């Protein structure tokens, strides 16, 4: 456990104030070990689990050293280069730098060149010579070749974040070419969640006599912070169980639902829409700005459920214009049109995630660890629930062994106690919804999303202004209805709720039902009020006066 405080590490007062604003009481283990070494100018190779604070572990000393160097050097230049494997991680690193430099923003300027697709739009930003540049290796290399990014005489430090993904995302050749255009002497940092062959190769290329920090800690938080469950169920039961968990509020708080491919994510989204359960989809087909926007909305609480694919399902890096593929991804071929610089289960900081639900079983031990690392971050508790098919039991055994469990030891992924026979009454509803989610519905849902992205694209705005006919054709194209939503599936009848779950089900859901079934007296329809007060057969009263009047009338008539 960390014993030092940030002020004991010799950090600038402006940084300390920003750290206090972020609510960090004390450094994590990786921060306590790495910050003093980095401030002394050492090269670092650091391995620490996802969510342990690796980003701040290199940013704090980098900003500290930059502030000190700027006291003696007046010339503005790019002095720090941070390489990341994904655009989302680049955006996140930039945001963290801005938070840490809140009180010294005039002295430290940062530019993220990983997020925007248009290279020409980034040239004016780099011409201002920001102190720190964040980007993917391929984008940084393009700017170096175009001489809009020159580091040969000014670079002080190079950081490669999530280093174990750099080669696997196809950046091997880009990185080698990029290193040829850097000075011979600079400080280097390699930050990674795992040590593999790729990290060893990068270490030999970049580091000079580094200090290796391989912290003796588990790959995931202990059971007091992270609870891990598994439940064995086949395909149809997965949908039934997910419906039950979400609709009856058995899973609460922000939840990330992981699937293994893009089509699967849309199938699950359309399935949940049948029951009026809102969820957003995050996958590699979406433009980077849209992905960052979705992550931002999820973090701000606009959505409770996000359906995400991870890097295991992505394709090999596709060829770019005038450029051969830099390398090959691990994990085989994926779907056409996906962004090779995309990754969800690695690096991205989802805020306050209470549950990670593996709807599809992760394809490797590393993938499970990185998915689980989206929750139980910092000191917050978290839950991981994994659906396991019969054919996936060998993979489950591999994960148990990697996390310290096994046949001779206590299971790390505890069996989730759930009686499927108690929710059989919901099965017909799930089957009804699954019949509506056809292949054609999934195709139309993906087309609809692409159409909306085209209409909202800032990059195509100028084109549509010059070609209004194309804009109107796209805007007034035939409306797509991906799946027919049946209104009766929105509500859950009381008689379908299992007796053992009635005390657990969200009381607000049941309270709303009571209100609908017991209308107040003030809302009685006007027709009923009229019948009650104006019906002459009920209001007529016999009196003596009425009888005399009736007798006289009868005599007169005779």
State the residue range of the domain holding 472. Answer: 438-482
Q: Evaluate whether residue 496 is within a structural domain.
A: no
Are 141 and 276 members of one domain? no
Closest among 486, 229, 543, 217 to 372, alpha carbons compared: 229
The residue among 153, 188, 214 that closes a domain is: 214
Check if the beta carbon of residue 414 is closer than 8 Å to that of residue 387: no
Are 188 and 159 members of one domain? yes
At 476-530, the pLDDT tens digits run: 665 555 666 777 788 888 888 888 777 767 554 555 555 555 555 445 554 544 4
Q: If pLDDT is split at 50, 70 and 90, which confidence band does 374 have?
A: confident
Q: If pLDDT is split at 50, 70 and 90, which confidence band does 465 have?
A: confident
And the tokens for 328? 């090959």
How many beta carbons lie within 10 A of that of residue 230, not counting itself? Answer: 23
Question: Does 467 or 142 have the greater pLDDT score?
Answer: 142
Are 453 and 391 members of one domain? no
Residues 157, 161, 163, 166: is their CA dihedral positive or negative? negative
Give the count of alpha carbons within 13 A of 376, CB side only. 22
In angstroms, rounded to a whole number, what is the distance separating the alpha carbons of residues 168 and 374?
A: 21
Are 149 and 14 members of one domain? yes
At 95-135, the pLDDT tens digits run: 999 999 999 999 999 999 986 557 888 999 999 999 999 99
Are 112 and 29 members of one domain? yes
Are 184 and 239 members of one domain? no
In angstroms, rounded to a whole number, what is the distance separating the alpha carbons of residues 447 and 294?
A: 18
144-158, 422-436, 468-482, 489-503: the lowest-pLDDT one? 468-482
How far lies 416's CA from each of 197, 229, 354, 370, in Å?
A: 36, 5, 17, 21
How far lies 505's CA from each of 28, 251, 515, in Å?
A: 38, 10, 17
Q: Evaluate whether residue 395 is within a structural domain.
A: yes
Provide the domain count of the chain.
3
How far lies 89's CA from each of 55, 96, 125, 165, 291, in Å?
A: 10, 10, 19, 12, 11
Cβ-proximal residues to 331 (8 Å cutoff; 6+ apart), any chain: 311, 312, 313, 314, 363
Q: Evaluate whether residue 456 is within a structural domain.
A: yes
Q: Evaluate whether residue 40 is within a structural domain.
A: yes
Are 235 and 142 members of one domain? no
> If you average pLDDT over every residue of the chain, what do you get?
81
Question: Does 554 or 165 have the greater pLDDT score?
Answer: 165
Give the count of alpha carbons within 13 A of 157, CB side only. 27
Q: Evaluate whether residue 512 is within a structural domain.
A: no
The residue among 214, 242, 276 that closes a domain is: 214
Q: If pLDDT is split at 50, 70 and 90, which confidence band does 319 have?
A: very low
Are 209 and 249 members of one domain? no
Q: Tell me the average pLDDT across 368-374.
A: 88
Q: Evaluate whether residue 293 is within a structural domain.
A: yes
Are 41 and 69 members of one domain? yes
H or E segment at 187?
strand 187-192
Cross-sheet strand order for the sheet of 211-214: 110-112, 132-135, 80-83, 157-160, 187-192, 44-47, 211-214
Are 417 and 444 members of one domain? no
The residue among 214, 247, 263 that closes a domain is: 214
Q: If pLDDT is split at 50, 70 and 90, which confidence band does 362 have?
A: very high
Are 188 and 163 members of one domain? yes
What pLDDT was estimated at residue 537?
A: 65
H or E segment at 164?
helix 163-166
| CATH number of the structural domain spanning residue 150 | 3.40.50.300
Check if the beta carbon of residue 137 is closer than 8 Å to that of residue 83: yes
How far lies 82's CA from each of 91, 139, 348, 519, in Å?
A: 12, 12, 16, 62
pTM: 0.66
Q: Tell me the average pLDDT across 122-151.
A: 93
Q: Evaluate whether residue 330 is within a structural domain.
A: yes
Q: If pLDDT is split at 50, 70 and 90, which confidence band does 534 have?
A: low
pLDDT surpassing 80 at residue 339:
no
In angstroms, rounded to a whole number, what is the distance separating the alpha carbons of residues 446 and 266?
A: 7
Q: If you count DSSP H runs as helices and E runs as strands, how many of each does the chain have, helices first?
A: 22, 14
Are 448 and 332 members of one domain? no
Check if the beta carbon of residue 353 is closer than 8 Å to that of residue 302: no
Question: Does 207 or 450 have the greater pLDDT score?
Answer: 207
Q: Evaluate whether residue 462 is within a structural domain.
A: yes
In angstroms, rounded to a whole number, what is the distance separating the alpha carbons of residues 204 and 194?
A: 16
pLDDT surpassing 90 at residue 187:
yes
């Amino acid at each position: 456990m960390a014993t030092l405080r940030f002020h004991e590490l010799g950090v600038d007062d402006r940084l300390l104030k920003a750290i206090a604003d972020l609510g960090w009481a004390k450094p994590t283990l990786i921060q306590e070990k790495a910050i003093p070494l980095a401030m002394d100018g050492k090269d670092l190779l650091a391995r620490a689990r996802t969510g342990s604070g690796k980003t701040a572990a290199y940013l704090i000393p980098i900003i500290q050293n930059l502030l000190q160097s700027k006291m003696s050097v007046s010339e503005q230049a790019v002095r720090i280069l941070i390489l990341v494997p994904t655009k989302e991680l680049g955006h996140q690193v930039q945001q963290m730098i801005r938070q840490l430099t809140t009180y010294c923003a005039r002295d430290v300027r940062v530019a993220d060149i990983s997020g925007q697709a248009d290279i020409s739009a980034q040239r004016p930003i780099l011409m201002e010579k920001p102190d720190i540049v964040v980007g993917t290796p391929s984008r940084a290399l393009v700017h170096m070749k175009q001489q809009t990014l020159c580091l040969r005489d000014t670079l002080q430090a190079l950081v490669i974040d999530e280093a174990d993904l750099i080669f696997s995302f196809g950046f091997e050749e880009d990185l080698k070419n990029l290193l040829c255009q850097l000075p011979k002497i600079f400080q280097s940092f390699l930050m990674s969640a795992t040590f593999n062959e790729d990290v060893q190769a990068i270490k030999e290329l970049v580091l000079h006599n580094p200090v290796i920090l391989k912290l003796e800690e588990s790959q995931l938080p202990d059971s007091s912070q992270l609870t891990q469950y598994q439940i064995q169920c086949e395909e149809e039961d997965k949908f039934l169980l997910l419906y039950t968990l979400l609709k009856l509020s058995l899973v609460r708080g922000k939840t990330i639902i992981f699937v293994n491919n893009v089509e699967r994510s849309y199938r699950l989204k359309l399935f949940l829409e049948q029951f009026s359960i809102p969820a957003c989809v995050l996958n590699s087909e979406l433009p980077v700005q849209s992905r960052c926007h979705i992550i931002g909305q999820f973090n701000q609480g606009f959505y409770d459920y996000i359906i995400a694919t991870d890097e295991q399902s992505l394709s090999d890096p596709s060829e770019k214009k005038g450029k051969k593929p830099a390398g090959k991804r691990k994990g085989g071929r994926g779907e056409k049109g996906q962004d090779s610089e995309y990754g969800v289960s690695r690096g991205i900081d989802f805020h306050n995630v209470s549950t990670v639900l593996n709807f599809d079983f992760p394809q490797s031990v590393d993938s499970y660890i990185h998915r689980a690392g989206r929750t139980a971050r910092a000191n917050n508790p978290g839950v991981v629930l994994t659906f396991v098919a019969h054919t996936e039991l060998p993979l489950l055994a591999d994960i148990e062994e990697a996390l310290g469990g096994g046949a001779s030891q206590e299971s790390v992924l505890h069996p989730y106690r759930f009686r499927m026979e108690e929710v059989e009454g919901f099965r017909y509803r799930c089957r009804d919804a699954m019949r509506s989610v056809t292949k054609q519905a999934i195709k139309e849902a993906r087309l609809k999303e692409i159409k909306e992205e085209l209409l909202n694209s800032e990059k195509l705005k100028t084109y549509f202004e010059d070609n209004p006919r194309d804009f109107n054709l796209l805007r007034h194209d035939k409306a797509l209805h991906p799946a027919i939503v049946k209104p009766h599936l929105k509500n859950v009848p009381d008689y379908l709720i299992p007796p053992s779950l009635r005390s657990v089900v969200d009381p607000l859901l049941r309270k709303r039902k009571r209100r609908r079934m017991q209308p107040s007296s003030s809302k009685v329809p006007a027709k009923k009020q009229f019948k009650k007060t104006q019906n002459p057969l009920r209001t007529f009263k016999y009196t003596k006066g009425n009888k005399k009047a009736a007798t006289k009338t009868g005599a007169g008539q005779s």
